Chain A
Amino acid sequence: MKRSRIEGSIIWFAALLGLWEIVSRSGLVSQLIMPPVTVILRSFAFEWGSGELEISMLLSLGFVFAGISAGGIGAFIISALSFQFDAVKRLSGMLTAVLHPLPGIALLPVFILFFGIGRITLLVVIIHSVIWPLIINISAGFTSVPAVYRRIGSNYGLKSAAFFFRIMVPASFPHILSGLKTAWARAWRAAVSAEMVFGITGSGGGLGWFVYNKRIFMDTPGMYAGILMLAILGIIVESGLFNLIENKTVRRWGVSV
């Protein structure tokens, strides 16, 4: 089952690359917009060799992990408080309803006003993009925990912190995990697009800046090399990291939905 899934992905991916190569070499479109895959791969190797791609990747990864960690802790605290106190629940419900649909980019002028132009603002944009979906998922997870589990917890005499970490978190882990998956995708989008709106050269930009800069100087193969890097990271984290977490947790605990 798992093996055929991987084979399926490989067939699709190879087919897409093949189609890309055919369209690019057909003369239907300009190679300046759609360079052949072979040229893109060569550029990828060149950018990797020069170190530029790795540095951008590490910077972006750093931002994304920092944003998800900070947003995750915040979302967990807010969700736990909402679960305990109705007033907090109403407040977080209202904030989520208002702020979740707003793209971080739309709020960028406000963020720049308060946090200036720099790494803090980028981090705030990422936190904004991850915290609301996480709150929604974690809260949904908490409310979905059957009352019988909670009673077991109180029968064991578990106090609030232990109760949360030993009953609520494991029981709602499938929701938390799907929240984290959404957060991962959102964080990347936020990091990449924020860097495209305000890029800071020289002082080290991430993959968003890498892609944008290549586009400005019309290094199209280089631009696609950056996009390819984003795709590869997505695949590694999605089918590597998240799969691993899933296997170690929800599948083993038998709480997967």
Chain B
Amino acid sequence: MSANARKLVEPINESTATEYATQGAKVRKLSRPDLKLVSQLRPEKASRGVFALLVGGLLGAGLVVMLLINTSLASGAFVVSELQTQKSALTVEAQALSKEVDAMSSPANLEAKARALGMKPSKNPVFLNLGDGSILGKPNGANVSPNAPLPRLATPADLTAVEAVDNSAVTSDFPTTVGPNYDPAAADAAAAGAATAEDSAWGEIVDVTDTPKAARAGKSGKASQPGKKAKIAKSDSGLTATPIG
């Protein structure tokens, strides 16, 4: 409050009254404003209740929200933990499956399977020119002796049978593979045994040596197909089907 304003509400004593009187109309203007008694300010009971309710409500709501957030976080932690367990289980499963694939597709296993089916590694690389049907390279025979058990063309059922046999062999801890010490003679003997056993179960035998029997089988159409295919070198195993020759 400025000094000037305080002056305006100063009580008027006589000397000043005279002074003011001389000033005429100005005095009337500066007379102090009307004062009145103000009733004591009492807080209203109703508004206090509302306020308390508001604060209480906010607190309560805050607590509830906190609780909800905590609960959802906690349940999230459970979900995370569960999913992690699931993930590691799936990883383990994926690894087990790819291990199986690796073991099956390993060159050693493919060679053993091919031999079990009566296949032999082709000797000279031979190519069939698909453009003009000419043969590049010198085809050579499989050198199957006439007295040896005759290999038979594979059917899808054979492949299943071979897989079933081989799966039972792959039970050791980490992939057991046929190393360089692998004995082809033993595998041949096993293959011959398998072929004989299968022959009795499967009546039809297709001869791949150059005998009239082979010619007959060739007429069925079944034998001629793989015979032609055999002349195209297969890349995967370095093995090809035994060519007729």
Partners in one complex: no
- B residues sitting closer than 8 Å to A (CB atoms) are none
- A residues sitting closer than 8 Å to B (CB atoms) are none
